[in-house]
A and B are shown apart, each in its own frame.
Chain A
Amino acid sequence: MSYELLTMIWFFLLGVLLCGYAILDGFDLGVGILHPFLAKDDYERRLVMNSIGPLWDGNEVWLVTFGGALFAAFPVAYATVFSSFYTAFYLLLTCLIGRAVSLEFRSKVSSPLWRRIWDWAFFLSSITAALLLGVAGGNVLAGMELGPKYRYEGNLLSQIYWYPLLVGALTVSLFALHGAIYLYLKTEDDLQARVRRAITPLFFVFAGLYLIVTLATWWHVPHATANISRHPWLWIVPVLNALAVLNIPRAMHWGRPGYAFFSSSMVILALATLFSVEIFPNFMLSTIDPAYSVTLENARSSRDTLETMLIIAGIGFPCVLSYTVIIYWIFRGKVKLDPHSY
């Protein structure tokens, strides 16, 4: 296999890991964002948390494996991206830790104060994590102040301005919508009715932000659309994206929540694909001088390593898919509390 082809395959596989993460942890984060607003009492809050109880940990592994795969396949990108986002990334890690421990510890002690503290920690860490992921994505899309020899010249403050914040808001609204549809599938009775009532406004917030971010990207990130203009067949991605967005209210209306969940997953998939199409062939575009950018070519590992890693992925991916299917099958159906629940 040629070096170029291997490089493209690894760029694609990283996209797969990123989509896997965004779709799976997306509903987890969304459930965390909605948790204080939809559940009325302690029992319902436990139901909401346990709807993702057995799954969130496996979902986060997609992010961890994305990190490992980026390190292995494009070490220069791994090194440059994570050191450039130093402070933002430590805040994201704080949020991921906060989520893990609030899920794990909340219901272990019956004191109401203890539980209220963890409920808030769960909400704040979920919403901040979603926001930060979006802000990072927005910065990568818009390009960053990367100097010579991969030395980043900005800081946290130069990463926080209107465009990445808009992308962050879009991410929060998308995950909240995705999480709401998931909760609708997992709950019953009163709680489910309340979730149903929340889906429509969440959809409109998301659709509004979706339009705004699309226009903002056109205006603020002119290079983002260059790949699509060069390869017009890529228009299929935004068109499918728009169809998937519109299909969410349609499927909910016809009482097919599973189909709606599939649609919101497809929206995430399409947005992540669009993101990859737009940044290609850079991992991080330098706004100082394009020659300083981190690209597929200057970031990749050696040919032999990409090939070995492909063998590892070829053995690993089928296993991963099979356990994911088994686990989701075992925990299918409405969420119920038992002695081992959170």
Chain B
Amino acid sequence: MDVEMLSRLQFAGTIMFHYLFPPLSIGLGLQLFLCELAYFRTRNLAWEAAARFWTRVFAVNFAMGVATGIVMEFEFGTNWAAYSRFVGDVFGSALAAEGIFAFFLESGFLAVLVFGWDRVGPKMHLLSTLMVFLGSVFSAVWIVVANSWQQTPAGYHIVWHDVQGEMMPRAEVTDFWEMVLNPSSVDRLTHTLIGAFVLGAFFVASVCSYYLLKNRHQEIAKRCLAISLPTALLFTFLAAATGHDSAQKLVETQPAKLAAMEGHFHSSDQPTGLNLFGWPDTENETVRFNVELPYLLSLLVYNDPTKPVPGMDQIPKDERPPVWLPFQTFHLMVALGTMMILVAAYACWSWYRGAYEQRRWLLWAMVFMPVAAMTANQAGWVTAEVGRQPWIVYPSVQNGVEMMGLRTADGLSESVTAEQVLSSIVLFGIIYSMLFAVWIFVLNHKIQHGPESPEELAEYKKKLHAESMSEAFGHHGTSRGGGMMEDGTQ
């Protein structure tokens, strides 16, 4: 394989592995904040026990996100040096803003969130949880802005620089806010964040449903379900709505991507139908085994069932993205999204009727929902990124002037060889497989251990209070660690 394919595979692999963690951090962060807010309002220890438990789960996930995220910050430079030189003026600012506005906020207050339970008061702790959550949201803001600029660039011009006798193009910012608020940022950001909130809500609902199935930690599980089920329903609906908005914009900004997602090869003056599923065959420009619903694509894209949607044949041959992969991942995302809406709606209805706990099959279905949400998040990104090919930065028109794009093949590092990339793929393949196994193992360990009961927590707090009193009077005990957990395994 050549350097381009290997570098693309490596980027796809490292970013997809990384993206297992941030959406869960964002989504779980919201649930955690809501639990802690409930504690703050009611001062009921069951809520605090719940918040302490979710914090432990959050910390493991967050560490994985940090560890795998450092790789991303430098991978543009290591593997995509020509791209980095072309976009640094624009893309670099968004990445630097992410570091300074988001990462410091997150990592600083994470310390208080995780290690500060017995060191700061409830108000400061609640504030820290909010700050960590906001930090993770800001991080999503800047990174999605940077990515959206690659898809729908704005607020820049191309400047040619003399590099040792050869003129080389570079994108330079002309209007910072126009760059940040480029045509797709807001839509894509809301859809991405909502995807994360869906995952967080289903994750909490999944663990709690598991506890109900096993008759464990019932009180805390029920309290958390009362938050996670309605939020799951709300956000699955919003995910569908924002996804629909994004797709409507695509016909203007990236018609090639839309055509690939829908497997729409041939334009005509007839209304366009929607391929419900099928098997796109790019060579013969057709979708095999497809089930087509007439008028529906025109209706969805233009709110007008008769207006034809342009197909892939409008795009020059050397500017067409692959079709099979974006088609399948897009359809997978929509199918999973629809299923999640139905499950969340039924679960909420059952909860409202007081029948949720009796429907064991529903509890079991809920246990596996995070896998569906995670898959939908990943599938959405595969659609967005593969559908962007063959461009790494889309060409555009700014104030009537055509701006060149950058092809993925032209973005590589000149001095990096295929052997080097292959060896880093093998190295990270091994490391990430091990990490994945350890992550699942530790996550399972934490979930099996579960939250402490409100009574245990009350006991612990009493003991802690006594210890601090005795220390204040100068009786140094030789106690090694807290009573609730002798060795950190909780």
Interface residues of A (CB under 8 A from B): 42-43, 46, 53-55, 57-58, 60-61, 63-65, 67-76, 78-87, 89-90, 93-94, 96-97, 100-101, 103-105, 107-110, 148-153, 155, 291-292, 298, 301-302, 304-305, 308-309, 312-313, 316-317, 319-320, 323-324, 326-327, 330-331, 337-342
Contacts and interface: CB of A to CB of B under 8 A. Distances in A.
Given A87-B423, A338-B115, 9 more contacts: A60-B70, A61-B99, A67-B77, A79-B88, A83-B77, A109-B442, A153-B415, A301-B172, A341-B115
Interface in B127-178: 159, 163-164, 166, 172-174, 176
A82 B172 contact: no
Nearest to A103: B63
A319 B69 CA distance: 22
Contact of A101 (B63, B82, B87, B92): B63
A58 B109 CA distance: 9
Contacts of A305: 89-90, 92-93, 172-173
A292 B484 contact: no
Interface in B462-490: 480-482, 484-485, 487-490
A318 B367 CA distance: 44
Nearest to B176: A308
Nearest to B116: A330
A219 to B, nearest CB: 29
Given A61-B103, A337-B480, A151 B173 contact: no
A292 B77 CA distance: 18
B76 A71 contact: yes
B259 interface: no
A302 B489 contact: no
B112 interface: yes
Contact of B78 (A83, A97, A341): A83
A85 B99 CA distance: 22
Contacts of A61: 99, 103-104, 107
B105 A152 contact: no
13 contacts: A58-B110, A65-B100, A65-B103, A71-B95, A83-B416, A85-B78, A86-B416, A292-B164, A302-B172, A304-B172, A316-B101, A319-B105, A341-B488
Contacts of A67: 73-74, 77, 95, 99
Contacts, number: 276
A109 B481 CA distance: 16
Interface of B: 52, 55-56, 59-60, 63-64, 66-71, 73-74, 76-82, 84-85, 87-93, 95-101, 103-105, 107-112, 114-120, 159, 163-164, 166, 172-174, 176, 413-416, 420, 423-424, 427-428, 431, 435, 438, 442, 445-446, 460, 480-482, 484-485, 487-490
B129 to A, nearest CB: 14
B89 to A, nearest CB: 4
B67 A302 contact: no
Nearest to A49: B488
A298 B164 CA distance: 10
Given A83-B78, A302-B89, A337-B480, A69 B424 contact: no
B420 A308 contact: no
A72 B414 CA distance: 20
A75 B88 contact: yes
Q: Say whether chain A's binding surface is mostly helix, strand, loop, or mixed.
A: helix
B98 A83 contact: no
A82 B93 contact: no
Given A79-B88, A312-B93, A304 B174 contact: yes
A231 B480 CA distance: 57
A324 B173 CA distance: 32
A152 B415 contact: yes
Given A43-B480, A108-B445, A319-B104, A291 B118 contact: no
Nearest to A91: B427
A149 B413 contact: no
A79 B71 contact: no
Contacts of B118: 338, 340
A65 B120 contact: no
A309 B482 contact: no
B126 to A, nearest CB: 15
A341 B481 CA distance: 9
Contacts of A338: 115, 117-118, 481-482
B102 to A, nearest CB: 9
A90 B164 contact: no
B467 to A, nearest CB: 10
B341 to A, nearest CB: 35
A68 B163 contact: no
Contacts of B63: 57, 100-101, 103-104
A301 B88 contact: yes
B81 A93 contact: no
A331 B490 contact: no
B96 A82 contact: no
Given A71-B92, A90-B424, A337-B481, A83 B415 contact: yes
A292 B84 CA distance: 18
Nearest to B83: A79
B81 A79 contact: yes
Contacts of B116: 54, 330
Contacts of A340: 52, 55-56, 114-115, 117-118
Nearest to A67: B73
B67 A90 contact: no
Contacts of B99: 61, 64-65, 67-69
B284 to A, nearest CB: 40
Contacts of B100: 65, 68-69, 312-313, 316-317, 319-320
Nearest to A302: B172
A331 B119 contact: yes
Contacts of A90: 78, 424, 427-428
Contacts of B56: 340
Given A46-B488, A54-B115, A324-B108, A72 B82 contact: no
Nearest to B78: A82
Given A96-B70, A301-B88, A82 B98 contact: no
A312 B96 contact: yes
Contacts of B484: 339
A57 B480 contact: no
Contact of A339 (B59, B93, B482): B482
Nearest to A72: B92
Given A110-B489, A292-B164, A339-B482, A78 B97 contact: no
B448 to A, nearest CB: 12
